Amino acid sequence: MEDVDRIVGRVDLKADRKAGKLLVPGAFAEDGTDPGSIAGELAAELREMARWLGLDDVAAGNRGELIEPLRRAL
């Protein structure tokens, strides 16, 4: 059974309503977490959040060890 009560990462978020994008300036994996193993699920959740906010897209920035795997997953 997967441990669903554990925080595996953190993201900085900003809604750019004019551009219609949810911006992710930084994404950081918690200690002991493989960034590549969480990027796909995180991307899906961020897309859902963007839709909930009425935004069309998600754009990854450049800070944190999770940002490259996240960019590939988006």
Residue 6 has pLDDT above 90, yes or no: no
What is the structure's pLDDT at 5?
79
Predicted TM-score of the model (pTM): 0.89
Tens digit of each residue's pLDDT (9 = 90 or more) over 9-61:
999 999 999 999 999 999 999 999 999 999 999 999 999 999 999 999 999 99
Considering only residues 6 and 19, tell me which one the structure prediction assigns the higher pLDDT.
19
- Residues in a beta bridge with 29: 9
What is the structure's pLDDT at 1?
40
CA angle 74, 66, 38 (to 5 degrees): 70
